Amino acid sequence: MRRVRGIIGEGKKACVQTFGCQQNEADSERLGGMLSEMGFEIIYDVKDADLILVNTCAVREHAELKALSITGQFKHLKDAKPSLLIGICGCMVTQEHRAGTIKHSYPYVDFLFGTSMLYKFPEILWDTLTKDKRQILWEDTGEGNIAEGLPVKREGGVKAWLSIMYGCNNFCTYCVVPYVRGRERSRRREDILAEARGLIAEGVQEITLLGQNVNSYGNDLGTEGDFADLLDDICRIDGDFRLRFMTSHPKDASRKLIDVMAANDKIEKHFHLPLQSGDDRVLKAMNRRYTRESYLSLVGYMREKMPEIAITTDIIVGFPGETEEEFENTLDMLRRVRFDNIYSFIYSKRRGTPAEKMSDQIPDWVKKDRFARLLKVQDEISIAKNGELVGKTVPVLVEGRSKTDPARLTGRTAGNKLVHFTGDDALIGTRIDLHITQAETHSLFGEREK
Ligand code: SAH
Ligand code: SF4
């Protein structure tokens, strides 16, 4: 990599805007790290920026439209300040048709690069500045690669993301991720352990291990052990820290992983296990490769080993061909499992995926109606599950001032539930015990123990 440390950014300000998942947030922290190394000051308001970089998402059309609309709004900033540099990266522009849209319809965008070229960002920027030519680096992600040692500008305070693998091999029929993120690549165990040790030494309290399917960690490495072994190794690092991980695919979540979780106090008792649909025919059409029964049996084992565990999930409504009865099977699974929380999505047709070509696409109004019914069922469950914590005292990691009520602080329980309480700024970044006094659908209220 060409070294451009501290040269091109000196005296300039850069703003990175991020859409999408935690993996994208982690990537943006690396882009921010590279920008800092190039001398840029990182800021959060595009109006003052000399460089704007948009890190995009492609999982649903809505996320793409938002990124395109934001990029459209930057035109007037560029008109007012022609030296402003605008770049687009991430999953959306890793698709050929979207790279083409940017190239042809957004002529004021100076550079564009796909997910597999993240590590080349300084070089791309250098070329943009010196070659007097737009740099449009669209390329199939193919096998992709892993670049170790990139600088990171972490945004999470006492919480940190740690990517353990990239890409996905699962090809769920609705999903664009395998196409825009390439095949599964696991980072080497010693690199992950070194990064975890560094974070813990810096005082990070909570590390979330990231991967599209963490359960298949190591499959491509051969001899180095699986995800459960990796978790065990990280837990052996000295220090008062906690671990989380996401996402786990139900077809690969092993009993061994659950046993390791149950045996380690450092692993928070929260499992995000995307169900997507509660109907076996739909699951098969989605290429998920598990059934209602195997899912329920996994949940049963988790609760047997860790009765206090919080379980959350992702649900898609309106997958092509989903009948009313099949949708009701999803509602039935919500009632049976009683998730602590769900992340629900209306099916969005993605270019190049097998589901795009399925003939029986569901009308919008049916999807919206099912979505509303799904939320209604879950809201009742969420509030009841949150209510079970009222009167209990639970440990909470204090994250900062509440966004909605600055008079309060907020923190997260082991199950990743948001708790609001009154307290002093000095508590931010510490783990304290809170007595839960009140429950709402999406949050809790608590008080410090007297
Ligand atoms: N690798 C993770 C999730 C990645 S995408 C996993 O397998 O669980 C995050 C969530 O977005 C998915 O769990 C799914 O619920 C949702 N999603 C993915 N593609 C979608 C699409 N085409 N339409 C609607 N929701 C989608
Ligand atoms: Fe997409 Fe399925 Fe891979 Fe998750 S496991 S990223 S839903 S293809």
Q: For residue 165, what pLDDT is reported? A: 95
Q: Which residue has the tokens 């149950």?
A: 262
**What number does the ligand 1 atom closest to the CA of 314 have?**
15
Q: For residue 156, what pLDDT is reported? A: 74
Q: What does the pLDDT look like over 26-45, one tens digit per residue?
A: 999 999 999 999 999 999 99
Q: Which residue has the tokens 């890409």?
A: 167
Q: What does the pLDDT look like over 193-234, one tens digit per residue?
A: 999 999 999 999 999 999 999 999 999 988 778 999 999 999
Tell me which residue range forms the domain holding 417: 393-448
Pick the last residue of a domain from 388, 404, 433: 388
Distance 379 CA to ligand 1 centre (A): 21
In short, whether 249's Cβ falls inside 6 Å of ligand 2 is: yes
Answer yes or no: is 147 within a domain: no
In short, whether 213's Cβ falls inside 6 Å of ligand 2 is: yes
Instruction: State the average pLDDT over residues 258-272.
Output: 97
Q: Rounded distance, CA 181 to CA 176, Å?
A: 9
Q: Which residue has the higher pLDDT, 297 or 156?
A: 297
Instruction: State the average pLDDT over residues 104-109.
Output: 96
Q: Rounded distance, CA 159 to CA 156, Å?
A: 5
Pair (210, 331) in one structural domain: no
Pair (10, 96) in one structural domain: yes
Q: Of all residues in the chain, what percent carry a pLDDT higher than 90? A: 88
Strand duo 393-401 + 431-439: pairing? antiparallel
**For residue 275, which ligand has an atom nearest its CA?**
1
**What number does the ligand 2 atom closest to the CA of 212 have?**
6
Answer yes or no: is 145 within a domain: no
Answer yes or no: is 131 within a domain: yes
Q: For residue 450, what pLDDT is reported? A: 66
Q: For residue 154, what pLDDT is reported? A: 86
Please state the domain count of the chain.
4
Pair (211, 281) in one structural domain: no
Answer yes or no: is 343 within a domain: yes
Instruction: State the average pLDDT over residues 264-290.
Output: 98
Answer yes or no: is 146 within a domain: no
Distance 286 CA to ligand 1 centre (A): 11
Pair (261, 374) in one structural domain: no
Answer yes or no: is 208 within a domain: yes
CATH number of the domain where residue 363 is located: 3.30.750.200
In short, whether 316's Cβ falls inside 6 Å of ligand 2 is: no
Q: Rounded distance, CA 338 to CA 364, Å?
A: 27
Distance 291 CA to ligand 1 centre (A): 18
Q: How far is CA 91 from the centre of its chain?
A: 13
CA atoms within 13 A on the CB side of 222: 1
Pair (432, 370) in one structural domain: no
Pair (58, 86) in one structural domain: yes
Q: What does the pLDDT look like over 393-439, one tens digit per residue?
A: 999 999 999 988 889 999 999 999 999 999 999 999 999 999 999 99
- Is the pLDDT score of 5 beyond 70? no
Pick the last residue of a domain from 217, 235, 268: 268
Q: Whose CA is nearest to atom 2 of ligand 2?
A: 172
Pair (168, 106) in one structural domain: no
Pair (73, 111) in one structural domain: yes
- Is the pLDDT score of 109 beyond 60? yes
User: Which of 170, 276, 315, 316 for a ligand 2 pocket mutation test, highest count of atoms within 8 Å of Cβ?
Assistant: 170
User: Which of 19, 24, 25, 59 for a ligand 1 pocket mutation test, highest count of atoms within 8 Å of Cβ?
Assistant: 59
Pair (168, 238) in one structural domain: yes
Cα–Cα nearest to 35, from 155, 186, 132, 198: 155
Angle at 297 between CA 167 and CA 341, to 5 degrees: 65
Classified as helix, coil or strand, 22 is helix
Task: Using CB atoms within 10 Å of the CB of residue 13, give its burial: 0 to 12 exposed, 13 to 18 middle, 19+ buried.
Answer: middle
Pair (257, 276) in one structural domain: no
Instruction: State the average pLDDT over residues 242-269.
Output: 96
Q: What does the pLDDT look like over 330-354, one tens digit per residue?
A: 999 999 999 999 999 999 999 999 9
CATH number of the domain where residue 180 is located: 3.30.750.210
Answer yes or no: is 124 within a domain: yes
Q: Whose CA is nearest to atom 1 of ligand 2?
A: 175
Strands (E), 367-417: 393-401, 409-413
Residues having CB within 6 Å of any atom of ligand 1? 59-60, 174-175, 177, 212-213, 247, 249, 274, 276, 314, 316, 345, 347-348, 350
Q: For residue 208, what pLDDT is reported? A: 97
Q: What is the mean pLDDT of the chain?
A: 94
User: Which of 341, 345, 378 for a ligand 1 pocket mutation test, highest count of atoms within 8 Å of Cβ?
Assistant: 345
CATH number of the domain where residue 419 is located: 2.40.50.140
Pair (337, 403) in one structural domain: no
CATH number of the domain where residue 68 is located: 3.40.50.12160
Pair (313, 375) in one structural domain: yes
Distance 176 CA to ligand 2 centre (A): 8
**For residue 210, which ligand has an atom nearest its CA?**
1
Q: Rounded distance, CA 427 to CA 450, Å?
A: 15
Answer yes or no: is 144 within a domain: no
Pick the last residue of a domain from 336, 358, 388: 388
Q: Whose CA is nearest to atom 5 of ligand 2?
A: 170
Residue 188 phi/psi, 5° resolution? -70, 140
* pLDDT range class, residue 1, cuts 50, 70, 90: very low
